[in-house]
Amino acid sequence: MSTPTTGRRKKVVVFDYGFGNIRSAERALARVGAEVEITRDYDTAMNAEGLLVPGVGAFAACMNGLRRARGDWIVDRRLSGGRPVLGICVGMQILFAEGIEHGERTEGLDQWPGTVAPLEADVVPHMGWNTVDAPGDSRLFAGLEADARYYFVHSYAVHDWTLEITNEAMSAPLVTWSTHGKPFVAAVENGALWATQFHPEKSGDAGAQLLTNWIGTL
């Protein structure tokens, strides 16, 4: 079970662009000790110690909503300055180069190369609890058991990680996998940008520990 952070509470903005379980995220972050505000205000989102980008629904609709709220610009500016961003569910998917839904391609934020495509499984959507395979040096999953389970609700995912690091001064991203039909990317840690395909705010004690780990890096 996670314990709330001690000392000064870290300021986290849940970015409100019309898509995502923002109230669930707000409650989960507050429960582990963050000072949380739901807003799309530019200055508030830029100045917060952490920015959480939720997402529920269609890739294209989320991208359109994010752009209308200038969220694409805010995410890029924060990351350019090394300021932490956490994407959840479709909020993770839109960080990739593109999404394919019903044969239509939509451009994503292109923070990472890769395509969000339909899950290849007998049962879709992937809805319920599942385990993940996290790297041993993961900070996001620190303190969590290997058999911990997380709550997923999605019909699309990234099945291939293609980013190559050629600069020896840069650390390679840490990629966590899960399997539903075939393996897919379940989480990524890449400098100031972290993301999960599952919902930590709905994942009980394991999700609370994960959010505590993220807040601890702010």
pLDDT in tens, 64-123: 999 999 999 999 999 999 999 999 999 999 999 999 999 999 999 999 999 999 999 999
Catalytic pick from 26, 98, 189, 201? 201
Q: What pLDDT, on the 0 to 100 scale, is given for residue 5? A: 45
Which residues, listed in sequence order, are joined to residue 157 by a DSSP beta bridge? 117
Q: What pLDDT, on the 0 to 100 scale, is given for residue 168? A: 61
Catalytic pick from 126, 154, 180, 199? 199
Hey, what domains does the chain have and what are their CATH numbers? Answer: 11-215 (3.40.50.880)
DSSP 10: P
Q: What is the mean pLDDT of residues 120-147?
A: 97
pLDDT in tens, 169-218: 677 899 999 999 999 999 999 999 999 999 999 999 999 999 999 999 99
Contacts 24+ apart (CB under 8 A), 112-115: 112/163, 112/173, 112/188, 112/190, 113/162, 113/163, 114/158, 114/160, 114/161, 114/162, 114/163, 114/185, 115/158, 115/160
Q: What pLDDT, on the 0 to 100 scale, is given for residue 169? A: 61
| Cα(113)–Cα(34) distance, integer angstroms | 31
Query: Catalytic annotation on 199?
Result: yes
Which residues, listed in sequence order, are joined to residue 192 by a DSSP beta bridge? none
Catalytic pick from 89, 154, 180, 189? 89
Alpha-helical segments (H) within 32-178: 42-47, 59-68, 71-80, 90-93
| Cα(172)–Cα(187) distance, integer angstroms | 14
Q: Count Cβ atoms below 10 Å from residue 158 Cβ, excluding itself.
A: 24
Q: What pLDDT, on the 0 to 100 scale, is given for residue 6? A: 53
pLDDT in tens, 145-176: 999 999 999 999 999 998 877 666 677 899 99
Widest CA span in the chain? 50
pLDDT in tens, 1-16: 544 545 789 999 999 9
Q: Locate tokens 């180069």: which residue?
A: 97
pLDDT exceeds 90 at position 34: yes
